[in-house]
Structures are given as C-alpha cells and as structure tokens.
Amino acid sequence: MKNNNLNEAILKAGKGIWNAVPMIIGIVLLVGLTDVLIPKSLYTKVFTNSVFDPLIGSAFGSILAGSPITSYILGGEFLAQGVSLVAVTAFIVAWVTVGIVTLPAEIVMLGKKFAIARNVMSFIFAIIVAIITIGVLNLL
Amino acid sequence: MKSLKDIRKVWYFPTAVAIIYIITFIMDSTKAVDSLQSTLNVFIKIIPTLLLVFALMALTNYFIAPKKLANWLNKKHGWLVAIVAGIISTGPIYMWYPMLQDLQKHGVKNGIIATFLYNRAIKPALLPLIIVYFGLAFTVVLTIVMAILSVVQGWLVEKIIA
C-alpha cells in the first residue's frame, strides 16, 4: 500500500540522511586518524598469554575501528604469534560489534541509554561468544 | 522542527575531531595528511552504502506506514527479521543509524535494533576470508553462535533500557 507520495518519501529520507551527515563526517575522520596514529606494531604487544587475553582481545577490538577484513588479518597474525584462539575470537567479534569510535554518534542518533547498554553488552558478549565458539569447536 | 540547540549538538563531535586533527597537524603534519587521505578513502567506500540506505528509507516511506512497520517488527518474527536484515545489510554500521533512528522513533523495540546491529558482524561476502584465516568449522560455529546470541543480547538490552 502506498503511504505517501514519492516526493514526500524521498524528501523525508533525504532529511534523515542529512541529519546524520555531521556524525558520519566525525566518525570517518576519527577512523582515518586511528588508522594512521595507532602503529600496527603495537597490536601484538597487548596480549599477555594469560586468562585475561579474551578480555584484552575484546577491549582491544572495541577501541580499534575499520574494515572487518583488517580484524581477520590481524587475528591471523595474533594466532601465528601464539595468542589463544579464544582471545583472537573475542577480538574479531568486538571489532565489529562494539564501537568506541562510533559511540558519540550512536548516542546522538539512538540515545545515550541505548548506545551505552548495547556497547557494554556487546563487549561482554564478545567474550561469551568466543568462549562458546571455542568450547563447541573442542567438542567437535 | 529541530531547535538551534539540537542542530549545534550534532556538530560537537565532528568539531572535537577537527580539533584533534589541528593538534595532530601542528605536531606532525605528515600524519595529519595521511589521516585525511585515509578518511577520503573511507568516504569513497561508503558512498554506495549511503545511497542504498537512502533508497531503502525512501522506499519504506513510500510503501509502508512507519507505525505499521514498527508494529510488524515488534511481533515475535521481528527478531528473525532483525537477524536476516543485519546479516544482509552492507557497509559500515554508522550508515544505518539514520534508518534505525527513524524506526526507533516509530516505536520499534530497542532489542530488535540491538539484534540488527549485532548481526552486522556476520557478512556473507566476508565468510570466505574468515574461512581462509580460521577454517571452515570455526566460521560455521562462530556464525551460528553469534546469530543465536544476538537475540539474547537484544533481549537483555531491551530489559536494561526498560
């Protein structure tokens, strides 16, 4: 069923996107900055080969931003350097589900309570997902 | 209509980032220029997604009454719709904020929105790459675990906010 006329529908969609433009500009600028300012050599130094590694992996994945492809490549490197698969899984899951860089935009667009609750839960769930995934893999 | 205060508020974040760029430029101009180059590359990449989101928003506005869509999504099958939509949606997560904001304003449950956002982590196009790095069994198990737990996560977000 047609709800509005086409011009109105396009105008409304355009308005919605336009309202998000300042936030999108901010996020993309910040993604560019973190990509250049955080040296890739630092990445492997954060893991300690302890039980805290999944927590560190989730925290590290939450801070960094960029294409998921980068997280897989980094995850592969971490594995090659002896980091546990649970920690690497927590890292790649948090990379895509938690967004510290995008948090200010999420707060403005979707609300403070929602953004904080969702990101905190996603951070915790990155560790849970990692533990369950590796647990199931060990059973197979 | 948006107040001047609301309009100003959305510019706080990009302004703060711009200030960080100015500081970076003063300290190391090469890194600031490299960052801007990286930013430009990201901008070029997100243009197709921006157009897709715009088209989806326009089509939804044209064909479906927002209130009806919200009611439909808030039913039990809404969780499944959120999982599938999250998986098939493309581009960076923040490109979907305007559409999700629109849905949220029309009463779609926060849990459904959280579930959609969580499933943005599962990308069929990227699955071959995960298989290359981590193996087929890992990829299959991770995908299933994430899809199932996304509903638990969404439900918990819903409860926390309520």
Query: pLDDT by residue (tens digit) across A75-134?
Result: 887 888 888 999 999 999 999 899 888 898 899 889 999 999 999 999 999 999 999 999
Q: How many CB pairs under 8 A join A and B?
A: 207
Interface test with A, best of B46, B62, B102 (most A CBs within 10 A): B62
Q: What's the CA gap between A114 and B116, in Å, rounded?
A: 13
The answer to ipTM > 0.85 is no
Higher pLDDT, B72 or B145: B145
∠ Cα A54 A57 A61 (to 5°): 145
Alpha-carbon gap: B67 to the closest alpha carbon of chain A (Å): 11
Residue contact B101–A68, C-beta within 8 A: no
Task: For B97-150, give the DSSP string.
Answer: HHHHHHHHHTT--HHHHHHHHHHTT--GGGHHHHHHHH-HHHHHHHHHHHHHHH
Mean pLDDT of chain B: 85
Query: pLDDT by residue (tens digit) across B20-41?
Result: 999 999 999 999 999 999 889 8
Question: What pLDDT score was predicted for residue B153?
Answer: 95
Domain ranges of chain A: 6-139
